[in-house]
Amino acid sequence: MTFEQEWAELRSAAAQRSAMQINSAPAAGGGGAGAPDLVVNRDDLGAIGNDAYDLRTRLSKDGDHARPTTFAAAIALTNGNFTSGSAVLKVHDFWQKHLKTLLDSCAHISNHLDHTKAQHAKDDVKIGGDLAPISKLSEYMK
């Protein structure tokens, strides 16, 4: 099976599941009276965010071990009239640039997952509040 075929099957199955959820009502009265039906409770996302934070913390410490020594070596080589001094300094600068990019990426992942979970909780409260008046109207219309 090719990737495109598998992807088409997965999309079709997802569309059918969504259609069934949208076109059906809960058996126990529905509405805002029961437990919320839109819930983000994904512990694995929290674990990924935590791992990204831990990785950033370790990288900020361990990724900087060689910086002072590398810089000192580059200066010593340059002062000793060795042409490799400028190359070592380029390696130093290259490492620092990419380490900062990696640290920023880890922080972005961690912050994004925290924000997403908090935003979904706010959305759930807002949706529940928006649907409460509709549930009352539905009760009166029966």
Residue 127: per-residue pLDDT: 81
Give me the pLDDT at residue 24, please.
46
Q: Confidence class of residue 101 from pLDDT cuts 50, 70 and 90?
A: very high
Which residues are CB-contacts of 45 (< 8 A; sequence separation ≥ 6)?
113, 116, 117
What number is the average pLDDT over the span 95-116? 88
Quote the pLDDT of residue 112: 85
